[in-house]
Structure 1
Protein backbone atom coordinates (compact mmCIF):
# COMPACT_ATOMS: atom_id res chain seq x y z
CA UNK A 1 0.00 0.00 0.00
CA UNK A 2 1.34 3.41 -0.91
CA UNK A 3 1.97 5.99 1.78
CA UNK A 4 -0.08 9.00 0.73
CA UNK A 5 1.37 12.46 1.12
CA UNK A 6 0.31 16.01 0.58
CA UNK A 7 1.44 17.21 -2.84
CA UNK A 8 1.83 20.90 -3.63
CA UNK A 9 -1.12 22.22 -5.66
CA UNK A 10 -0.52 22.12 -9.37
CA UNK A 11 0.06 25.59 -10.78
CA UNK A 12 -1.81 26.95 -13.76
CA UNK A 13 0.30 26.63 -16.92
CA UNK A 14 -0.93 27.80 -20.32
CA UNK A 15 2.52 27.77 -21.93
CA UNK A 16 3.05 24.03 -22.06
CA UNK A 17 0.38 21.63 -23.38
CA UNK A 18 -1.59 19.77 -20.68
CA UNK A 19 -2.76 16.20 -21.09
CA UNK A 20 -6.43 16.94 -20.38
CA UNK A 21 -6.58 19.66 -23.03
CA UNK A 22 -4.59 17.58 -25.53
CA UNK A 23 -7.21 14.86 -25.11
CA UNK A 24 -9.98 17.41 -25.59
CA UNK A 25 -8.30 18.68 -28.77
CA UNK A 26 -8.08 15.18 -30.25
CA UNK A 27 -11.75 14.60 -29.44
CA UNK A 28 -12.73 17.79 -31.24
CA UNK A 29 -13.67 19.66 -28.08
CA UNK A 30 -13.57 23.40 -27.56
CA UNK A 31 -11.86 23.52 -24.15
CA UNK A 32 -8.25 23.71 -25.28
CA UNK A 33 -5.79 26.33 -26.46
CA UNK A 34 -3.68 26.84 -29.55
CA UNK A 35 -0.71 25.23 -27.81
CA UNK A 36 -2.67 21.97 -27.46
CA UNK A 37 -4.09 22.10 -30.98
CA UNK A 38 -0.64 22.73 -32.41
CA UNK A 39 0.77 19.91 -30.32
CA UNK A 40 -1.94 17.51 -31.53
CA UNK A 41 -1.23 18.46 -35.14
CA UNK A 42 2.47 17.73 -34.68
CA UNK A 43 1.78 14.31 -33.18
CA UNK A 44 -0.64 13.52 -36.01
CA UNK A 45 2.02 14.41 -38.57
CA UNK A 46 4.57 12.15 -36.87
CA UNK A 47 2.09 9.32 -36.22
CA UNK A 48 -0.68 9.54 -38.83
CA UNK A 49 -3.99 8.36 -37.43
CA UNK A 50 -2.87 8.53 -33.78
CA UNK A 51 -5.98 10.54 -32.98
CA UNK A 52 -7.93 7.31 -33.31
CA UNK A 53 -6.30 6.08 -30.09
CA UNK A 54 -7.75 8.99 -28.13
CA UNK A 55 -11.17 8.34 -29.63
CA UNK A 56 -10.86 4.64 -28.85
CA UNK A 57 -10.14 5.44 -25.22
CA UNK A 58 -13.35 7.48 -25.02
CA UNK A 59 -15.28 4.66 -26.73
CA UNK A 60 -13.83 2.21 -24.18
CA UNK A 61 -15.02 4.47 -21.36
CA UNK A 62 -18.53 4.48 -22.84
CA UNK A 63 -18.66 0.71 -23.19
CA UNK A 64 -17.32 0.07 -19.69
CA UNK A 65 -19.76 2.51 -18.08
CA UNK A 66 -22.67 0.90 -19.92
CA UNK A 67 -21.36 -2.47 -18.76
CA UNK A 68 -21.18 -1.36 -15.11
CA UNK A 69 -24.62 0.23 -15.23
CA UNK A 70 -26.01 -3.06 -16.52
CA UNK A 71 -24.40 -4.76 -13.50
CA UNK A 72 -26.14 -2.39 -11.10
CA UNK A 73 -23.32 0.07 -10.37
CA UNK A 74 -24.77 3.56 -9.87
CA UNK A 75 -21.91 5.64 -8.46
CA UNK A 76 -18.62 6.40 -10.13
CA UNK A 77 -15.27 7.92 -9.19
CA UNK A 78 -13.30 9.04 -12.26
CA UNK A 79 -9.65 9.85 -11.48
CA UNK A 80 -7.72 12.04 -13.88
CA UNK A 81 -11.01 12.69 -15.61
CA UNK A 82 -10.05 15.55 -17.87
CA UNK A 83 -12.81 17.83 -19.12
CA UNK A 84 -16.25 16.15 -18.98
CA UNK A 85 -17.34 16.81 -22.57
CA UNK A 86 -17.84 14.80 -25.76
CA UNK A 87 -19.69 11.80 -24.33
CA UNK A 88 -18.10 11.67 -20.91
CA UNK A 89 -19.24 9.48 -18.03
CA UNK A 90 -22.24 11.43 -16.74
CA UNK A 91 -23.62 11.80 -20.27
CA UNK A 92 -23.39 8.05 -20.80
CA UNK A 93 -25.01 7.35 -17.43
CA UNK A 94 -27.99 9.66 -17.85
CA UNK A 95 -28.87 8.05 -21.17
CA UNK A 96 -29.48 4.86 -19.17
CA UNK A 97 -30.81 5.97 -15.80
CA UNK A 98 -31.64 8.94 -13.58
CA UNK A 99 -30.17 7.10 -10.61
CA UNK A 100 -26.43 7.77 -10.79
CA UNK A 101 -23.70 9.80 -9.13
CA UNK A 102 -20.36 10.82 -10.65
CA UNK A 103 -17.35 12.47 -9.02
CA UNK A 104 -14.69 13.58 -11.46
CA UNK A 105 -11.20 14.30 -10.11
CA UNK A 106 -8.42 16.21 -11.86
CA UNK A 107 -5.40 18.11 -10.56
CA UNK A 108 -5.09 20.63 -13.41
CA UNK A 109 -6.63 23.99 -12.38
CA UNK A 110 -7.86 25.10 -15.81
CA UNK A 111 -9.40 21.69 -16.45
CA UNK A 112 -11.46 22.03 -13.29
CA UNK A 113 -12.30 25.66 -14.05
CA UNK A 114 -13.59 24.68 -17.51
CA UNK A 115 -15.49 21.72 -16.08
CA UNK A 116 -17.43 23.44 -13.30
CA UNK A 117 -19.77 25.40 -15.63
CA UNK A 118 -20.33 22.29 -17.76
CA UNK A 119 -21.63 20.45 -14.69
CA UNK A 120 -23.57 23.33 -13.16
CA UNK A 121 -26.93 21.98 -14.35
CA UNK A 122 -26.18 18.36 -13.43
CA UNK A 123 -26.72 17.85 -9.67
CA UNK A 124 -25.67 14.20 -9.91
CA UNK A 125 -22.10 15.04 -11.00
CA UNK A 126 -19.30 17.29 -9.78
CA UNK A 127 -15.56 17.74 -10.24
CA UNK A 128 -12.95 18.00 -7.51
CA UNK A 129 -9.54 19.57 -7.99
CA UNK A 130 -7.24 17.07 -6.31
CA UNK A 131 -4.26 14.86 -7.01
CA UNK A 132 -5.19 11.21 -7.47
CA UNK A 133 -2.03 10.33 -5.55
CA UNK A 134 -3.84 11.54 -2.41
CA UNK A 135 -6.76 9.10 -2.05
CA UNK A 136 -7.43 10.00 1.58
CA UNK A 137 -7.92 13.68 0.68
CA UNK A 138 -10.28 12.70 -2.14
CA UNK A 139 -12.42 10.39 -0.01
CA UNK A 140 -12.63 12.98 2.79
CA UNK A 141 -13.55 15.86 0.49
CA UNK A 142 -17.00 17.49 0.77
CA UNK A 143 -17.65 16.54 -2.84
CA UNK A 144 -17.02 12.85 -2.17
CA UNK A 145 -19.12 12.91 0.99
CA UNK A 146 -21.96 14.51 -0.97
CA UNK A 147 -21.93 12.18 -3.97
CA UNK A 148 -20.41 8.85 -2.93
CA UNK A 149 -21.57 6.27 -0.41
CA UNK A 150 -18.55 4.05 0.18
CA UNK A 151 -20.77 1.47 1.89
CA UNK A 152 -22.09 0.64 -1.58
CA UNK A 153 -20.26 -0.53 -4.73
CA UNK A 154 -18.36 2.09 -6.68
CA UNK A 155 -17.17 2.10 -10.27
CA UNK A 156 -13.57 3.37 -10.04
CA UNK A 157 -12.25 4.62 -13.38
CA UNK A 158 -8.53 5.08 -13.92
CA UNK A 159 -8.56 5.54 -17.68
CA UNK A 160 -5.48 7.11 -19.24
CA UNK A 161 -4.20 8.45 -15.94
CA UNK A 162 -1.76 5.91 -14.48
CA UNK A 163 0.69 6.33 -17.36
CA UNK A 164 1.21 9.90 -16.10
CA UNK A 165 2.35 8.63 -12.68
CA UNK A 166 6.08 7.80 -12.48
CA UNK A 167 7.38 4.62 -10.88
CA UNK A 168 8.79 6.73 -8.04
CA UNK A 169 5.21 7.45 -6.93
CA UNK A 170 4.40 3.72 -6.75
CA UNK A 171 1.35 3.44 -9.03
CA UNK A 172 0.85 -0.21 -8.04
CA UNK A 173 0.61 0.71 -4.37
CA UNK A 174 -1.63 3.65 -5.20
CA UNK A 175 -4.16 1.47 -6.99
CA UNK A 176 -4.08 -0.99 -4.09
CA UNK A 177 -4.95 1.83 -1.68
CA UNK A 178 -8.04 2.68 -3.70
CA UNK A 179 -8.96 -1.00 -3.98
CA UNK A 180 -8.81 -1.39 -0.20
CA UNK A 181 -11.27 1.48 0.24
CA UNK A 182 -13.95 -0.15 -1.94
CA UNK A 183 -16.60 -2.63 -0.84
CA UNK A 184 -17.28 -5.96 -2.61
CA UNK A 185 -19.21 -5.48 -5.81
CA UNK A 186 -17.10 -2.47 -6.74
CA UNK A 187 -15.41 -2.44 -10.13
CA UNK A 188 -12.09 -1.08 -11.38
CA UNK A 189 -11.63 0.18 -14.96
CA UNK A 190 -8.10 0.80 -16.24
CA UNK A 191 -6.66 1.88 -19.57
CA UNK A 192 -2.93 2.50 -19.94
CA UNK A 193 -0.47 3.30 -22.72
CA UNK A 194 1.78 0.37 -23.58
CA UNK A 195 4.73 -0.11 -25.89
CA UNK A 196 4.41 -3.88 -26.02
CA UNK A 197 2.80 -3.93 -29.47
CA UNK A 198 4.34 -0.84 -31.06
CA UNK A 199 7.56 0.16 -29.28
CA UNK A 200 8.70 2.69 -31.88
CA UNK A 201 5.35 4.50 -31.99
CA UNK A 202 5.16 4.71 -28.21
CA UNK A 203 8.73 6.03 -28.07
CA UNK A 204 7.75 8.84 -30.43
CA UNK A 205 4.64 9.57 -28.38
CA UNK A 206 6.59 9.64 -25.12
CA UNK A 207 9.16 12.01 -26.66
CA UNK A 208 6.36 14.41 -27.57
CA UNK A 209 4.79 14.24 -24.11
CA UNK A 210 8.17 15.03 -22.53
CA UNK A 211 7.54 18.58 -23.78
CA UNK A 212 4.26 18.84 -21.85
CA UNK A 213 3.34 19.38 -18.22
CA UNK A 214 2.34 15.68 -18.11
CA UNK A 215 5.24 13.39 -19.15
CA UNK A 216 4.21 9.91 -20.30
CA UNK A 217 5.33 6.61 -18.72
CA UNK A 218 4.35 3.71 -21.04
CA UNK A 219 4.54 0.23 -19.53
CA UNK A 220 4.44 -3.39 -20.67
CA UNK A 221 1.13 -5.23 -20.70
CA UNK A 222 2.37 -7.74 -18.10
CA UNK A 223 3.00 -4.86 -15.69
CA UNK A 224 -0.40 -3.30 -16.39
CA UNK A 225 -2.06 -6.62 -15.52
CA UNK A 226 -0.60 -6.32 -12.01
CA UNK A 227 -2.57 -3.12 -11.42
CA UNK A 228 -5.77 -5.14 -10.98
CA UNK A 229 -4.32 -6.89 -7.93
CA UNK A 230 -6.70 -9.39 -6.31
CA UNK A 231 -9.73 -8.12 -8.20
CA UNK A 232 -11.41 -10.60 -10.55
CA UNK A 233 -10.69 -9.58 -14.14
CA UNK A 234 -13.93 -9.91 -16.09
CA UNK A 235 -14.31 -11.30 -19.63
CA UNK A 236 -12.86 -10.75 -22.16
CA UNK A 237 -9.89 -10.11 -19.86
CA UNK A 238 -7.22 -7.47 -20.27
CA UNK A 239 -6.67 -6.58 -23.89
CA UNK A 240 -6.20 -3.84 -26.42
CA UNK A 241 -9.06 -1.42 -25.85
CA UNK A 242 -10.52 -1.92 -29.31
CA UNK A 243 -10.97 -5.63 -28.48
CA UNK A 244 -12.79 -5.09 -25.17
CA UNK A 245 -16.44 -5.88 -25.93
CA UNK A 246 -16.33 -4.00 -29.25
CA UNK A 247 -19.47 -2.53 -30.74
CA UNK A 248 -21.07 -4.81 -33.36
CA UNK A 249 -19.86 -3.97 -36.84
CA UNK A 250 -17.06 -1.75 -35.59
CA UNK A 251 -14.98 -0.73 -38.61
CA UNK A 252 -11.21 -0.95 -38.61
CA UNK A 253 -9.73 2.36 -37.50
CA UNK A 254 -6.33 4.01 -37.57
CA UNK A 255 -5.91 3.18 -33.89
CA UNK A 256 -5.68 -0.50 -34.83
CA UNK A 257 -2.35 0.31 -36.48
CA UNK A 258 -0.81 1.32 -33.17
CA UNK A 259 -2.64 -0.64 -30.46
CA UNK A 260 -1.09 1.56 -27.80
CA UNK A 261 -3.91 1.39 -25.25
CA UNK A 262 -4.45 -1.67 -23.07
CA UNK A 263 -6.78 -2.34 -20.18
CA UNK A 264 -9.85 -4.04 -18.82
CA UNK A 265 -12.44 -4.22 -16.06
CA UNK A 266 -12.20 -6.10 -12.75
CA UNK A 267 -14.55 -6.71 -9.82
CA UNK A 268 -13.92 -6.91 -6.10
CA UNK A 269 -15.46 -10.10 -4.81
CA UNK A 270 -16.50 -10.91 -1.26
CA UNK A 271 -14.17 -13.93 -1.29
CA UNK A 272 -11.17 -11.60 -1.37
CA UNK A 273 -12.12 -10.30 2.06
CA UNK A 274 -12.49 -13.66 3.83
CA UNK A 275 -9.35 -14.29 5.91
CA UNK A 276 -7.94 -17.76 6.26
CA UNK A 277 -8.69 -18.99 9.78
CA UNK A 278 -6.05 -21.04 11.58
CA UNK A 279 -7.08 -24.57 12.45
CA UNK A 280 -7.39 -24.87 16.21
CA UNK A 281 -6.09 -27.93 17.99
CA UNK A 282 -8.53 -30.56 19.25
Structure 2
Protein backbone atom coordinates (compact mmCIF):
# COMPACT_ATOMS: atom_id res chain seq x y z
CA UNK A 1 0.00 0.00 0.00
CA UNK A 2 2.86 2.37 0.77
CA UNK A 3 4.35 1.71 -2.69
CA UNK A 4 1.02 2.57 -4.28
CA UNK A 5 0.73 5.86 -2.35
CA UNK A 6 4.31 6.76 -3.25
CA UNK A 7 3.62 6.07 -6.93
CA UNK A 8 0.42 8.13 -6.94
CA UNK A 9 2.27 11.04 -5.32
CA UNK A 10 4.51 11.19 -8.40
CA UNK A 11 1.68 11.66 -10.90
CA UNK A 12 1.71 15.05 -12.61
CA UNK A 13 -1.70 15.37 -14.25
CA UNK A 14 -0.77 18.68 -15.91
CA UNK A 15 1.82 17.09 -18.22
CA UNK A 16 0.91 14.55 -20.90
CA UNK A 17 2.48 11.12 -20.48
CA UNK A 18 2.94 8.74 -23.44
CA UNK A 19 1.35 5.76 -21.66
CA UNK A 20 -1.77 7.71 -20.70
CA UNK A 21 -2.01 9.33 -24.13
CA UNK A 22 -1.76 5.90 -25.74
CA UNK A 23 -4.47 4.68 -23.36
CA UNK A 24 -6.75 7.47 -24.57
CA UNK A 25 -6.07 6.68 -28.23
CA UNK A 26 -6.93 3.03 -27.56
CA UNK A 27 -10.25 4.10 -26.03
CA UNK A 28 -9.25 3.74 -22.38
CA UNK A 29 -10.30 5.88 -19.42
CA UNK A 30 -7.05 6.08 -17.45
CA UNK A 31 -5.92 9.49 -18.67
CA UNK A 32 -6.15 13.18 -17.83
CA UNK A 33 -6.99 16.40 -19.66
CA UNK A 34 -3.34 17.03 -20.60
CA UNK A 35 -3.07 13.54 -22.10
CA UNK A 36 -6.27 13.99 -24.09
CA UNK A 37 -5.27 17.44 -25.34
CA UNK A 38 -1.90 16.09 -26.49
CA UNK A 39 -3.52 13.11 -28.23
CA UNK A 40 -6.09 15.32 -29.94
CA UNK A 41 -3.36 17.64 -31.22
CA UNK A 42 -1.68 14.62 -32.80
CA UNK A 43 -5.01 13.41 -34.15
CA UNK A 44 -5.64 16.73 -35.89
CA UNK A 45 -2.32 16.32 -37.67
CA UNK A 46 -2.79 12.59 -38.31
CA UNK A 47 -6.49 11.64 -38.28
CA UNK A 48 -5.67 7.92 -38.41
CA UNK A 49 -3.59 7.90 -35.20
CA UNK A 50 -6.19 5.82 -33.32
CA UNK A 51 -6.05 3.20 -36.06
CA UNK A 52 -2.25 3.30 -35.83
CA UNK A 53 -2.41 2.67 -32.07
CA UNK A 54 -4.76 -0.29 -32.53
CA UNK A 55 -2.62 -1.75 -35.33
CA UNK A 56 0.49 -1.38 -33.22
CA UNK A 57 -1.17 -3.21 -30.34
CA UNK A 58 -2.35 -5.99 -32.65
CA UNK A 59 1.19 -6.37 -34.01
CA UNK A 60 2.49 -6.89 -30.46
CA UNK A 61 -0.05 -9.64 -29.91
CA UNK A 62 0.82 -11.40 -33.18
CA UNK A 63 4.54 -11.13 -32.38
CA UNK A 64 4.16 -12.60 -28.89
CA UNK A 65 2.06 -15.45 -30.30
CA UNK A 66 4.72 -16.12 -32.96
CA UNK A 67 7.58 -16.17 -30.44
CA UNK A 68 5.69 -18.34 -27.98
CA UNK A 69 5.03 -20.77 -30.83
CA UNK A 70 8.83 -20.79 -31.41
CA UNK A 71 9.36 -21.92 -27.82
CA UNK A 72 10.15 -18.59 -26.14
CA UNK A 73 8.94 -18.73 -22.54
CA UNK A 74 10.44 -15.51 -21.13
CA UNK A 75 9.39 -11.99 -22.09
CA UNK A 76 10.71 -8.58 -21.04
CA UNK A 77 8.14 -5.97 -22.11
CA UNK A 78 9.60 -2.46 -21.81
CA UNK A 79 7.22 0.47 -22.09
CA UNK A 80 4.23 -1.75 -21.54
CA UNK A 81 1.67 1.02 -21.01
CA UNK A 82 -1.59 0.78 -19.11
CA UNK A 83 -2.99 -2.78 -19.25
CA UNK A 84 -5.63 -3.52 -21.88
CA UNK A 85 -6.94 -6.79 -23.28
CA UNK A 86 -4.53 -9.49 -24.46
CA UNK A 87 -1.39 -8.19 -22.82
CA UNK A 88 1.93 -9.93 -23.41
CA UNK A 89 1.56 -12.39 -20.55
CA UNK A 90 -1.98 -13.36 -21.54
CA UNK A 91 -0.96 -14.18 -25.11
CA UNK A 92 2.17 -16.07 -24.02
CA UNK A 93 0.49 -17.97 -21.19
CA UNK A 94 -2.32 -19.16 -23.44
CA UNK A 95 0.36 -21.14 -25.26
CA UNK A 96 2.34 -22.11 -22.17
CA UNK A 97 0.87 -21.28 -18.74
CA UNK A 98 4.39 -21.44 -17.28
CA UNK A 99 5.65 -18.46 -19.32
CA UNK A 100 7.41 -15.76 -17.30
CA UNK A 101 6.94 -12.06 -18.06
CA UNK A 102 8.43 -8.85 -16.66
CA UNK A 103 6.79 -5.53 -17.52
CA UNK A 104 8.64 -2.19 -17.35
CA UNK A 105 7.22 1.33 -17.43
CA UNK A 106 7.93 4.70 -15.82
CA UNK A 107 4.38 6.00 -15.33
CA UNK A 108 3.05 5.66 -11.76
CA UNK A 109 -0.48 5.04 -13.06
CA UNK A 110 0.83 2.11 -15.08
CA UNK A 111 2.52 0.84 -11.93
CA UNK A 112 -0.68 0.82 -9.90
CA UNK A 113 -2.76 -0.77 -12.67
CA UNK A 114 -0.12 -3.34 -13.54
CA UNK A 115 0.21 -4.63 -10.01
CA UNK A 116 -3.56 -4.91 -9.75
CA UNK A 117 -4.37 -6.34 -13.18
CA UNK A 118 -1.36 -8.11 -14.68
CA UNK A 119 -1.91 -11.32 -12.79
CA UNK A 120 -0.18 -14.49 -13.87
CA UNK A 121 -1.36 -18.04 -14.23
CA UNK A 122 -0.51 -20.20 -11.19
CA UNK A 123 2.19 -21.95 -13.24
CA UNK A 124 3.86 -18.79 -14.56
CA UNK A 125 5.17 -15.50 -13.20
CA UNK A 126 4.32 -11.88 -13.99
CA UNK A 127 6.37 -9.08 -12.46
CA UNK A 128 6.49 -5.32 -12.87
CA UNK A 129 9.46 -2.90 -12.66
CA UNK A 130 9.10 0.85 -12.30
CA UNK A 131 11.97 2.02 -14.52
CA UNK A 132 12.90 4.05 -17.61
CA UNK A 133 14.23 2.67 -20.90
CA UNK A 134 16.69 5.57 -21.02
CA UNK A 135 18.49 3.85 -18.13
CA UNK A 136 18.74 0.28 -19.44
CA UNK A 137 21.27 -0.88 -16.85
CA UNK A 138 18.79 -0.02 -14.10
CA UNK A 139 16.32 -2.37 -15.77
CA UNK A 140 18.80 -5.16 -16.44
CA UNK A 141 20.28 -5.07 -12.93
CA UNK A 142 16.94 -5.00 -11.15
CA UNK A 143 16.74 -7.83 -8.57
CA UNK A 144 13.11 -8.65 -9.42
CA UNK A 145 13.98 -8.97 -13.11
CA UNK A 146 16.88 -11.27 -12.32
CA UNK A 147 14.71 -13.34 -9.99
CA UNK A 148 12.02 -13.75 -12.67
CA UNK A 149 13.95 -14.26 -15.91
CA UNK A 150 16.88 -16.60 -16.53
CA UNK A 151 19.50 -14.78 -18.62
CA UNK A 152 21.19 -18.06 -19.54
CA UNK A 153 18.13 -19.02 -21.61
CA UNK A 154 16.60 -17.31 -24.67
CA UNK A 155 14.00 -14.64 -24.07
CA UNK A 156 12.12 -11.98 -26.00
CA UNK A 157 12.45 -8.25 -25.39
CA UNK A 158 9.47 -6.17 -26.46
CA UNK A 159 10.24 -2.55 -27.42
CA UNK A 160 6.88 -1.72 -28.92
CA UNK A 161 6.06 1.96 -29.52
CA UNK A 162 8.65 3.17 -27.03
CA UNK A 163 11.95 3.91 -28.82
CA UNK A 164 10.55 7.03 -30.47
CA UNK A 165 10.50 8.64 -27.01
CA UNK A 166 14.29 8.46 -26.85
CA UNK A 167 15.82 11.53 -28.47
CA UNK A 168 19.00 11.34 -30.53
CA UNK A 169 20.92 13.11 -27.75
CA UNK A 170 19.86 10.35 -25.32
CA UNK A 171 21.89 7.74 -27.22
CA UNK A 172 19.24 5.36 -28.57
CA UNK A 173 21.96 3.17 -30.10
CA UNK A 174 23.64 2.82 -26.72
CA UNK A 175 20.31 1.91 -25.13
CA UNK A 176 19.64 -0.78 -27.72
CA UNK A 177 23.19 -2.15 -27.59
CA UNK A 178 23.15 -2.37 -23.77
CA UNK A 179 20.01 -4.52 -23.98
CA UNK A 180 21.36 -6.68 -26.80
CA UNK A 181 24.62 -7.26 -24.92
CA UNK A 182 22.64 -8.81 -22.05
CA UNK A 183 20.68 -11.30 -24.18
CA UNK A 184 21.80 -14.89 -24.75
CA UNK A 185 21.95 -16.26 -28.31
CA UNK A 186 18.60 -17.39 -29.62
CA UNK A 187 16.77 -14.52 -27.95
CA UNK A 188 14.49 -12.22 -29.92
CA UNK A 189 13.73 -8.52 -30.01
CA UNK A 190 10.40 -7.11 -31.17
CA UNK A 191 10.35 -3.38 -31.87
CA UNK A 192 7.96 -0.95 -33.48
CA UNK A 193 8.66 2.69 -34.16
CA UNK A 194 6.68 5.63 -35.45
CA UNK A 195 7.75 6.94 -38.85
CA UNK A 196 6.80 10.00 -40.85
CA UNK A 197 8.35 8.76 -44.09
CA UNK A 198 4.96 7.86 -45.59
CA UNK A 199 3.21 11.12 -44.63
CA UNK A 200 2.66 14.26 -46.70
CA UNK A 201 4.65 17.38 -45.88
CA UNK A 202 1.65 19.16 -44.35
CA UNK A 203 0.99 16.34 -41.90
CA UNK A 204 4.66 16.22 -40.87
CA UNK A 205 4.68 19.97 -40.26
CA UNK A 206 1.59 19.68 -38.03
CA UNK A 207 3.08 16.72 -36.13
CA UNK A 208 6.28 18.65 -35.53
CA UNK A 209 4.24 21.54 -34.16
CA UNK A 210 2.48 19.13 -31.78
CA UNK A 211 5.89 17.91 -30.60
CA UNK A 212 6.84 21.21 -29.01
CA UNK A 213 8.93 19.66 -26.22
CA UNK A 214 10.92 17.55 -28.68
CA UNK A 215 10.30 14.39 -26.66
CA UNK A 216 9.08 12.47 -29.72
CA UNK A 217 11.52 11.39 -32.45
CA UNK A 218 10.09 9.68 -35.52
CA UNK A 219 12.60 7.60 -37.49
CA UNK A 220 12.65 5.99 -40.92
CA UNK A 221 12.64 2.29 -41.56
CA UNK A 222 16.33 2.50 -42.50
CA UNK A 223 17.12 4.17 -39.18
CA UNK A 224 15.17 1.52 -37.29
CA UNK A 225 17.05 -1.23 -39.14
CA UNK A 226 20.36 0.44 -38.31
CA UNK A 227 19.56 0.43 -34.59
CA UNK A 228 19.15 -3.36 -34.76
CA UNK A 229 21.81 -4.19 -37.36
CA UNK A 230 23.33 -6.78 -34.98
CA UNK A 231 20.20 -8.95 -35.24
CA UNK A 232 19.18 -11.47 -37.86
CA UNK A 233 15.86 -10.04 -38.96
CA UNK A 234 12.87 -12.33 -39.44
CA UNK A 235 11.03 -11.91 -42.74
CA UNK A 236 9.70 -9.52 -43.93
CA UNK A 237 12.44 -7.47 -42.25
CA UNK A 238 11.62 -3.83 -41.59
CA UNK A 239 7.99 -3.39 -42.55
CA UNK A 240 4.85 -1.53 -41.57
CA UNK A 241 3.08 -3.06 -38.59
CA UNK A 242 0.04 -3.42 -40.85
CA UNK A 243 2.02 -5.77 -43.13
CA UNK A 244 3.50 -8.04 -40.50
CA UNK A 245 1.77 -11.49 -40.82
CA UNK A 246 -1.22 -9.82 -42.51
CA UNK A 247 -2.96 -13.16 -43.08
CA UNK A 248 -3.38 -13.41 -39.28
CA UNK A 249 -4.86 -9.92 -38.92
CA UNK A 250 -8.27 -8.43 -39.51
CA UNK A 251 -9.14 -7.60 -43.11
CA UNK A 252 -8.89 -5.43 -45.09
CA UNK A 253 -5.41 -4.28 -44.07
CA UNK A 254 -4.93 -0.52 -43.62
CA UNK A 255 -2.37 1.33 -45.73
CA UNK A 256 1.15 2.06 -44.52
CA UNK A 257 0.32 5.78 -44.79
CA UNK A 258 -2.59 5.43 -42.36
CA UNK A 259 -0.58 3.42 -39.84
CA UNK A 260 2.85 5.15 -40.06
CA UNK A 261 4.57 2.59 -37.82
CA UNK A 262 7.42 0.32 -38.86
CA UNK A 263 8.40 -2.85 -37.02
CA UNK A 264 11.08 -5.52 -36.81
CA UNK A 265 11.43 -8.93 -35.25
CA UNK A 266 15.05 -9.99 -34.93
CA UNK A 267 17.01 -12.92 -33.51
CA UNK A 268 20.16 -12.56 -31.42
CA UNK A 269 23.07 -14.40 -32.98
> Is the TM-score greater than 0.5?
yes
Q: Which residue of 2 aligns with 1:20?
A: 19
- On the 8 A contact 1:27/1:86 being kept in 2, the answer is no
Q: Which residue of 2 aligns with 1:273?
A: none
Q: Secondary structure at the match of 1:68?
A: helix
Following TM superposition, by how much is the alpha carbon of 1:145 offset from its aligned partner in structure 2, in angstroms? Answer: 1.8
Following TM superposition, by how much is the alpha carbon of 1:202 offset from its aligned partner in structure 2, in angstroms? Answer: 4.0
Q: Which residue of 1 aligns with 2:233?
A: 233
For residues 41 and 181 of structure 2, the distance between their equivalents in structure 1, rounded to whole angstroms, comes to 41
For residues 120 and 97 of structure 2, the distance between their equivalents in structure 1, rounded to whole angstroms, comes to 14
For residues 220 and 144 of structure 2, the distance between their equivalents in structure 1, rounded to whole angstroms, comes to 35
Q: Which residue of 2 aligns with 1:48?
A: 47
- In our comparison, the structure showing a higher alpha carbon Rg is 1
For residues 249 and 104 of structure 1, the distance between their equivalents in structure 2, rounded to whole angstroms, comes to 25
For residues 137 and 267 of structure 1, the distance between their equivalents in structure 2, rounded to whole angstroms, comes to 23
Deviating 4+ runs (over 6 angstroms): none
- On the 8 A contact 2:242/2:253 being kept in 1, the answer is no
Following TM superposition, by how much is the alpha carbon of 1:224 offset from its aligned partner in structure 2, in angstroms? Answer: 0.9
Following TM superposition, by how much is the alpha carbon of 1:37 offset from its aligned partner in structure 2, in angstroms? Answer: 3.1
After TM superposition, list the pairs within 5 Å mapping 1:10-159 onto structure 2: 11-120=10-119, 124-159=125-160
For residues 46 and 177 of structure 2, the distance between their equivalents in structure 1, rounded to whole angstroms, comes to 34
For residues 227 and 112 of structure 1, the distance between their equivalents in structure 2, rounded to whole angstroms, comes to 28
| Structure 1, unaligned runs of 5 or more | 1-9, 270-282
Deviations 1:135-170 (A, max 9, x none): 222122122022110000110111111110011111
| Structure 2, unaligned runs of 5 or more | 1-8
For residues 172 and 199 of structure 2, the distance between their equivalents in structure 1, rounded to whole angstroms, comes to 23
Higher helix share: 2
For residues 209 and 102 of structure 1, the distance between their equivalents in structure 2, rounded to whole angstroms, comes to 33
- On the 8 A contact 1:194/1:219 being kept in 2, the answer is yes
Tell me whether 165-174 or 110-119 shows the greater mean CA deviation. 110-119
For residues 116 and 100 of structure 1, the distance between their equivalents in structure 2, rounded to whole angstroms, comes to 18
Seen in structure 2, the aligned counterparts of structure 1 residues 136 and 40 have a Cα distance that, compared at 3 Å, is closer
TM-score by length of 2: 0.87
Q: Which residue of 1 aligns with 2:6?
A: none
Q: Which residue of 1 aligns with 2:210?
A: 208
Instruction: Provide the aligned C-alpha RMSD in A.
Output: 2.2
- On the 8 A contact 2:89/2:120 being kept in 1, the answer is no
Following TM superposition, by how much is the alpha carbon of 1:243 offset from its aligned partner in structure 2, in angstroms? Answer: 0.7
- On the 8 A contact 2:190/2:264 being kept in 1, the answer is yes
Following TM superposition, by how much is the alpha carbon of 1:215 offset from its aligned partner in structure 2, in angstroms? Answer: 2.0
Q: Which residue of 1 aligns with 2:173?
A: 172
For residues 152 and 15 of structure 1, the distance between their equivalents in structure 2, rounded to whole angstroms, comes to 43
For residues 209 and 101 of structure 2, the distance between their equivalents in structure 1, rounded to whole angstroms, comes to 34
Q: Which residue of 1 aligns with 2:223?
A: 223
Q: Which residue of 2 aligns with 1:198?
A: 199
Seen in structure 2, the aligned counterparts of structure 1 residues 249 and 18 have a Cα distance that, compared at 3 Å, is closer
For residues 168 and 38 of structure 1, the distance between their equivalents in structure 2, rounded to whole angstroms, comes to 27
- On the 8 A contact 1:198/1:259 being kept in 2, the answer is no
- On the 8 A contact 1:188/1:265 being kept in 2, the answer is yes
- On the 8 A contact 1:164/1:215 being kept in 2, the answer is yes
Q: Secondary structure at the match of 1:156?
A: strand
